[in-house]
Chain A
Amino acid sequence: MTGTPKYGRAFVFGDNIDTDILAPGSLMKLSPEALATHCLEAIDPSFAGAVRSGDLLVAGTNFGLGSSREQAAVSLKILGIKAVLATSFARIFWRNAINLGLPALVFPQAREIASGDQLALDTASGRIENLTRSRSYEIQPLPDHLLQMIADGGLIAHLQRRFQGTAA
């Protein structure tokens, strides 16, 4: 299966980016939009201001460890991040992202990407091109049922289709 590639700049972070860095607990009463402006602030105060719609987040191991708070993935989505590519993911964050229609893909060679590199990602086939460094990678695509969920616009939209299908 192939789709339309996503093109964007890479924002690169290291290992063990936790949910308190992505969505600080003490700010959880803020609106999602306001909370998103604090995303990753503890380690990179410029991130929320610099990121643009279409950019891709690249990180090391155990991305999203910690809380089940979905605001961690919501904040990245609000800021315009189109996919997260990491060496490995914490389970709840990984499910949350995909449920919201934000592809989260295991990318073993994530360390070869530098901040600012221009990437092209085909989520369906698992092909990543680093246009800045003229390198390409084939990674394990998501299972078909999750690709379908993302194509439907996330878990709730996917369920809505299923319920309507049942009713019809």
Chain B
Amino acid sequence: MDLSSPVLAMTLVEKVIARAAGREAVRPGEIVTAKVDFAFAHDSSGPRRWRPYLEQLGVGIWDPSKVALVSDHYVPAVDAESAAILSDARAFAREYGVGAFFDMIGICHLVLPEHGLIRPGDFIAGGDSHTPMAGAFGTYAAGYGATDMAAIVATGETWLSVPQTVRVEWSGAFQVGVVAKDIMLFLCRELGLDNAFAAIEYGGAAVDAMSMPERMVLANMAAELGFETGVVAPDQITFDYLAARGHPVDDEAVAMALESDPACTYRAVHHFDATTLVPQIARPHAPDNVIAADVLSDVVIDQAYIGACVGAKLSDLRMAAEVLQGRKVAPSVRLLIAPASSATTEQAAREGILTTLLEAGAILLPSGCGACAGMGAGLLAAGEVCISSTNRNFRGRMGHKDARVYLGSPYSVAAAAVAGRIVDPRPMLAQPGIAT
């Protein structure tokens, strides 16, 4: 195949779709049927919705070895209703022989890569809108509703219109205190939230230098921008992450070849410089209502929340600990931390990060989607103000419709917890607190 030919040159996303559709090449706008390599869902979107449909159709799961379930929404059960939802998920996993069932050990989007189940080049369907997080590994990973997912686990395939790809290049290197989350909040303002039926691809020196957890932030919040998937081309950092978890890629050269061809066609290419980016905050009630953190110092907060797939990985807890080392959470603020997985909590304990967070006055919550999904501990009352490391701040998402939620990086959330108001975290990072 001549990859320099514009006839066959494709973007990464187009290559993954073409293979899954059994085609040599695909073009944006073509309607194709793709064979799904890996499908997953959680306790809220999965079993309780799939079971009646599968019974109606009289079929089981097309290939249980390619399906994973993760309980993360209603965990741990706080009442009889959530207990019943979890009980049903466990029974379903047994009865249908689901290949991988992860019960209460963290949020699906992090637990799956931790277990080496996100493989470069795969076509992935997930029953959750933040499924694009898996695109950090060079996959096509899109979110689907429960009926679509039931059809996918029944048949192993789904239809799609091949999306155009938008490429975003970040040159330069970040200032201390500026991270992938700031990039994504900035992009929400620059590109808006209305980018449906297109894909986003990230590249450039600042992305090449990022760890996998930071690339996961870029891919995760492709969902906020409205893109159906967000991808980073696999490289040595990708391979090292998977190898370290005991699941090395089969063929690195094949994975490297997923990179978009030089002659491919993008819908648009945007260039930004990481060097000049400053900490960003999204104001209520939308992720694109974004402004620099340093102009919001009149915003007094009641709660600071570090949680969710996007914002409570080990790297995020490390950021919070950097700020909180030798400092105390303001007396008027409650700082809640819900690590994204049990493995995150375990490693944070080993590194002494948990001690730092708890000494500063943080309150540790169970791993799960928690308050970010409006389900777990940490919901807000009318009139309360929260700064959160999560990805969405729609009205009513984290509790009462008249609560106000600001979004920021874990640095910004931790710094606000100390100051009692929203601040630029960089001065605190430049002048570390006194170790106690």
* Chain A residues within CB distance 8 Å of chain B: 16, 18-21, 24-26, 28-29, 41-43, 61-62, 65-70, 73, 88-96, 99-100, 143, 145, 154-156, 159-160, 163
Contacts and interface: CB of A to CB of B under 8 A. Distances in A.
A60 to B, nearest CB: 10
Contact of A159 (B155, B193, B399): B155
Contacts of B85: 29
Interface residues of B, number: 48
Contacts of A160: 56-57
B196 A89 contact: yes
Interface of B: 31, 44-45, 49, 53, 56-59, 74, 79, 81-82, 85, 127-129, 131, 142-148, 150-151, 154-155, 159, 193-194, 196-197, 226, 228, 286, 373-375, 379, 392, 394-397, 399, 401
A66 B251 CA distance: 36
Contact of A156 (B53, B81, B131, B193): B53
A157 to B, nearest CB: 9
Contact of B374 (A28, A73, A92): A28
Nearest to A88: B194
Contacts of B379: 26
A95 B148 contact: yes
12 contacts: A16-B194, A18-B394, A20-B396, A62-B193, A67-B129, A69-B44, A70-B145, A70-B147, A91-B196, A92-B145, A95-B144, A95-B145
> Ordered nearest first, which 8 A-B pairs have the shortest CB separation?
A25-B374, A96-B145, A62-B194, A70-B145, A20-B394, A99-B147, A26-B374, A68-B129
A90 B193 CA distance: 9
B375 A156 contact: no
A95 B147 CA distance: 9
A163 B58 contact: yes
A155 B151 contact: yes
Contacts of B44: 28, 69
A58 to B, nearest CB: 17
Contacts of B392: 20, 66
B57 A163 contact: yes
Contacts of B142: 91
Nearest to B228: A91
A155 B394 contact: no
Nearest to A97: B145
A16 B401 contact: no
A41 B401 CA distance: 9
A111 to B, nearest CB: 15
Contacts of B59: 163
B425 to A, nearest CB: 27
A155 B286 contact: no
Given A28-B375, A159-B151, A163-B59, 17 more contacts: A18-B286, A21-B394, A28-B44, A28-B374, A29-B74, A29-B81, A65-B193, A69-B44, A69-B45, A70-B145, A90-B226, A91-B142, A91-B196, A92-B144, A96-B148, A143-B31, A145-B31
Given A20-B397, A159-B151, A160-B56, A68 B143 contact: yes
Contact of A70 (B74, B81, B146, B193): B146
A163 B31 CA distance: 22
Nearest to A96: B145
Contacts of B196: 62, 88-91, 94
Nearest to B127: A68
Nearest to A15: B194
A94 B394 CA distance: 19
A19 B31 CA distance: 26
Contacts of A42: 395-396, 401
B226 A65 contact: yes
Contact of A20 (B56, B57, B81, B395): B395
A30 B49 CA distance: 14
A92 to B, nearest CB: 5
A9 B143 CA distance: 32
